[in-house]
A and B are shown apart, each in its own frame.
Chain A
Amino acid sequence: MIILATITLDNLSMQYGNNGSRYTALSEVNLTINEGNFISLIGPSGCGKSTIIDIVSGLKAPTTGSVLIDREPVSGPGTDRGTVFQDYSLFPWMTAFENICFAIEHTGGCQTKTEIEKQAEEYLNLVGLKRFRNAYPNTLSGGMRQRVSIARMFSMNPKVFLMDEPFGALDSLNRIYMQDLLLNLWSEGERHKTVLFVTHDVDEALLLSDKIAVMTPSPGKIKEVIDVPFSRPRCRKSLSATAEYLALKSHLLSVLYCEMMGELAQQERNFRGLA
């Protein structure tokens, strides 16, 4: 039986620095991700998207508020959350295979060495990197490294998946390939989990998500949550031609554009103030 978890962000705030120069990175962020939902956080850089991932993964503690996974508060990092970062998830001194084994070892699910190795092998095959089993990350391309990272995340069999701009460093063709791979893997049976996904790419968010949370910077806030109503499985080609898709895309772009212009004006004022 597959247990799906919920993620609840309950009134999260994050402030850096001490009383003299306080910088508010996040302010009153509330968001609930239902069982098995794929939610994307989208927004201009510096709006606190990655900070949210860091808080949910337990790397940072929020100033106020809390994160609940299945109504259990998060108190630190743990293997109930599988995380993929932009390009720094893998350990360069371990081969692709060793990286996955290492992660499985620490989830405590598999006990014997042969069990771990069998599972690692299986996930490496799943992302099509059987031949690169003994390659070190430095010798792999950026796309291959992210495939290993994703295989590692799936192999850990966590309650939820957290992804922080996992395809942000890839060229556009590789990105398309990776999005399709992720969707294919995620759609099937026990690999279907609750996902929190950070991106700055509108098309990526629309293709992958059930809901999109649009964030605004300084201080980081969720401005609105948009439902993405398209049925799954989704086809990139036919989807991007529908009127509904185009309407959603233009709405998202205009919201983000407004935010960006506001932010630029703000920066300019700050700069004048300093000068």
Chain B
Amino acid sequence: MMEKIPRTAIAVYLLLALALAVQVLVPDAPHLAAADATAFIGVLVLLAIVFTAGLVIQKKDARAVTDLFLVITVVMVLWEVILGKLSLLDPLLFPGPAQVFQIFASDGQQMLYGAVGSLCIMATGYVLALILAIPLGLYIGWRRRLFDVAYPIAKAVSPIPPTVYLPYAIVLLPTFASASVFLIFIGAFWPILVGTIYGVFAVDHRIINSAKTLGLTDRQMVRRILLPGAMPSIFSGAMISLIMAFISITVAEMIAATSGLGWYIEYNHQFANYDKVIAGMILIALVVIGVMFIFDRIQRHCLRWQQTE
């Protein structure tokens, strides 16, 4: 069992130890000396714990996990040495890791509330889009006449970036939250709709024939045959929608919000707090990773019938 763990795993631990040693033993660049390094040390320890857990849980993918962490630790060490300790670039624009991670300790609560708020708005718009676009797409895909009307419209409207609607959304809708929900809804709606329509087309007509021989009603046909049959394509549409939703919410918050992830970055940018800008970017990345992970799990569960082993 032990020999299955790749040798590079040791390199990951060594690099983490190196980062830790450098942080503790080598003094910061003089003008950054005030920075408190506990948060960064915490992050390094956390990385070691997550890596170990990853090796234990994902035994089959030990190599992939190790390679991934190797990249992360190399970036950490380079970041720490070049920017944190040697300060080779402008320290205002490119702060070291100790300074950036300290933001999570000092601004943690504000950032957490911002993230939760952004996610709530996003989830509302996204779920609304799913609820409307999937049934509509199934029906359009199933009824040729409806498709002939809907398809040219969808083709013309879907490439318009959702942020184009922002000026009207802000004027017409009473709160920032409702305007953002609308924006995310619009952005997420089209990819899901198009994905669903194509999904219905992709259902093998021989399977539809087989379903017809069972004498299904239209409703049963849509729910039990077309919906699961279109599911792979619905998921690829929903994935694009999710990315669109992230872009929409961040841009909307940068322009018009008073809280949230995008606002946090934009607000601190105005005060030239680039350490906070980078911390905000890291937080967004973490949130995206988390949401994508959940999405992937749901997709794998819903499409478990596609696996062939």
Give the Cβ gap from A243 to chain B, nearest Cβ, in Å.
Answer: 41
Interchain CA distance A77-B217 in the complex, whole Å: 11
Flag if B206 contacts A88 (CB, 8 Å): yes
Does A90 reach chain B (CB closer than 8 Å)?
A: yes
**Contacting residues, chain A, for B109 (C-beta < 8 A):** none
- Asked if A59 meets B209 with Cβ closer than 8 Å, knowing A106-B214, A106-B215, the reply is yes
Does B309 reach chain A (CB closer than 8 Å)?
A: yes
Interchain CA distance A83-B215 in the complex, whole Å: 12
Interchain CA distance A212-B225 in the complex, whole Å: 35
B-contacting residues, A71-118, CB 8 Å: 77-79, 81-83, 85, 88-94, 102-103, 106
Does B270 reach chain A (CB closer than 8 Å)?
A: no
**Contacting residues, chain B, for A37 (C-beta < 8 A):** none
Nearest residue in A to B308 (C-beta to C-beta)?
A138
Give the Cβ gap from B234 to chain A, nearest Cβ, in Å.
Answer: 12
Give the Cβ gap from B297 to chain A, nearest Cβ, in Å.
Answer: 18
Flag if A139 contacts B307 (CB, 8 Å): yes
- Asked if A85 meets B206 with Cβ closer than 8 Å, knowing A57-B213, A106-B216, the reply is yes
Does A245 reach chain B (CB closer than 8 Å)?
A: no
**Contacting residues, chain B, for A102 (C-beta < 8 A):** 214, 224
B-contacting residues, A56-71, CB 8 Å: 57-59
**Contacting residues, chain B, for A57 (C-beta < 8 A):** 213
Interchain CA distance A106-B214 in the complex, whole Å: 6
Flag if B214 contacts A59 (CB, 8 Å): no
Interchain CA distance A90-B209 in the complex, whole Å: 11
Does A136 reach chain B (CB closer than 8 Å)?
A: yes
Nearest residue in B to A93 (C-beta to C-beta)?
B228
Flag if A89 contacts B215 (CB, 8 Å): no
Interchain CA distance A156-B213 in the complex, whole Å: 11
**Contacting residues, chain B, for A77 (C-beta < 8 A):** 212-215
Number of chain B residues whose Cβ lies closer than 8 Å to a Cβ of chain A: 23
Give the Cβ gap from B216 to chain A, nearest Cβ, in Å.
Answer: 6
Interchain CA distance A156-B206 in the complex, whole Å: 19
Give the Cβ gap from A10 to chain B, nearest Cβ, in Å.
Answer: 21
Flag if A92 contacts B215 (CB, 8 Å): no
Nearest residue in A to B231 (C-beta to C-beta)?
A93
Q: Which of B211, B215, B304 contacts A91 (CB 8 A)?
A: B211
Nearest residue in A to B228 (C-beta to C-beta)?
A93
**Contacting residues, chain A, for B212 (C-beta < 8 A):** 58-59, 77
Interchain CA distance A81-B220 in the complex, whole Å: 19
Interchain CA distance A139-B228 in the complex, whole Å: 17
Interchain CA distance A106-B213 in the complex, whole Å: 10
Give the Cβ gap from A93 to chain B, nearest Cβ, in Å.
Answer: 4
Interchain CA distance A275-B135 in the complex, whole Å: 50
Give the Cβ gap from B96 to chain A, nearest Cβ, in Å.
Answer: 51
Interface bits B279-309 vs A (CB < 8 Å: 1, else 0): 0000000000000000000000000111111
Flag if B228 contacts A91 (CB, 8 Å): yes
Does B90 reach chain A (CB closer than 8 Å)?
A: no
Does B18 reach chain A (CB closer than 8 Å)?
A: no
Interchain CA distance A138-B309 in the complex, whole Å: 8
Interchain CA distance A142-B189 in the complex, whole Å: 39
Nearest residue in B to A79 (C-beta to C-beta)?
B215
**Contacting residues, chain A, for B213 (C-beta < 8 A):** 57-59, 77, 79, 81-83
Flag if B306 contacts A92 (CB, 8 Å): yes
Flag if A139 contacts B214 (CB, 8 Å): no
Give the Cβ gap from B233 to chain A, nearest Cβ, in Å.
Answer: 13
Flag if B215 contacts A85 (CB, 8 Å): no
**Contacting residues, chain B, for A88 (C-beta < 8 A):** 204, 206-207, 209-210
Flag if B306 contacts A85 (CB, 8 Å): no
**Contacting residues, chain A, for B229 (C-beta < 8 A):** 91, 93
Interchain CA distance A90-B305 in the complex, whole Å: 12
Give the Cβ gap from B217 to chain A, nearest Cβ, in Å.
Answer: 9
Interchain CA distance A81-B215 in the complex, whole Å: 10
**Contacting residues, chain A, for B210 (C-beta < 8 A):** 83, 85, 88-91
**Contacting residues, chain A, for B209 (C-beta < 8 A):** 54, 59, 85, 88
15 A–B pairs (Cβ distance < 8 Å), ordered by A: A54-B209, A58-B213, A59-B209, A59-B212, A77-B214, A82-B213, A85-B210, A91-B228, A92-B306, A106-B214, A106-B215, A106-B216, A106-B220, A138-B305, A138-B307
* A-B pairs with lowest CB-CB distance, top 6: A88-B206, A93-B228, A136-B305, A83-B213, A77-B212, A93-B305
Residue ranges of B at the interface with A (Cβ–Cβ < 8 Å): 204, 206-207, 209-216, 220, 224-225, 228-229, 231, 304-309
Q: A91-B228, A106-B220 are in contact. List 19 more A-B contacts (CB 8 A).
A: A58-B213, A59-B209, A59-B213, A77-B213, A77-B214, A77-B215, A85-B209, A88-B204, A91-B207, A91-B211, A91-B225, A91-B229, A92-B207, A92-B305, A92-B306, A93-B305, A102-B224, A137-B305, A139-B307
